[in-house]
Amino acid sequence: MLFPLIVYATCGLALSLVAHILSMFGVELGMPVFVALHVGIFPLWIPVVLLSMRMTGGGTNRKDFWKVALSGCPAWMKYMTYGFFIYAAVNFAIFFVLVSLHPPPKQVGGAPPSVVLHGFSGHWMAFYSAGLAILVTAYRRGLSNLQRRCPFGHNVGWSDRFCPACGSSLPALPDSPRSLRS
């Protein structure tokens, strides 16, 4: 089940990247492609949210969430995801400032479609890449290993050093010398 979702996320990321690049040249893709990329995030993110909740056990704080959710994907994929989120924020800020300083001429229907496509596609890239990275983490760990457990089988958080139920010491994680807090 995870592999088809990884392919789906990869295709969504690739198409949103192409749409973003084409929007820089004023190329419009048409409403069906726009709607497909926009609505396509939601079927992807339903399993991604469920998997990430299972990975974190619902108890991981926000600071540790991304460390846990992306801990099983390759480093380049983690940096790609962070990069797309930073790019989406900067792209939106620049778009907002430019439109505020130089509003487009009055026209029916608002901004040109290529401008709207450019704004949305930056966010699509961020969300498709985050979904891809979380799915790859789940795939590489295996569905049965998404939740960390102590030697006695109790669920523990990924940043815990000791089991909250029995107090047993937890082995160091392979991603860091002792914990994810480093």
* Global pTM value: 0.78
Predicted confidence at residue 63, as pLDDT, reads: 64
Secondary structure (H, E, C), 121-150: HHHHHHHHHHHHHHHHHHHHHCHHHCCCEC
Helix (H, G, I), strand (E, B) or coil at 155: strand
pLDDT at 55 over 90: no
Give kind and range of the element (H or E) at residue 92: helix 75-101
Kindly state the tokens that stand for 62: 């926000």
pLDDT at 89 over 60: yes
Tell me the mean pLDDT in the region 54-74. Answer: 76
The answer to whether 23 and 123 are in contact (CB under 8 A) is: no
The residue that leads in pLDDT, 37 or 146, is 37
Lowest mean pLDDT among 6-10, 88-92, 114-118, 123-127: 114-118
Predicted confidence at residue 102, as pLDDT, reads: 61
pLDDT digits (tens, 9 = 90+) for 155-171: 777 677 888 888 888 88
The residue that leads in pLDDT, 167 or 179, is 167
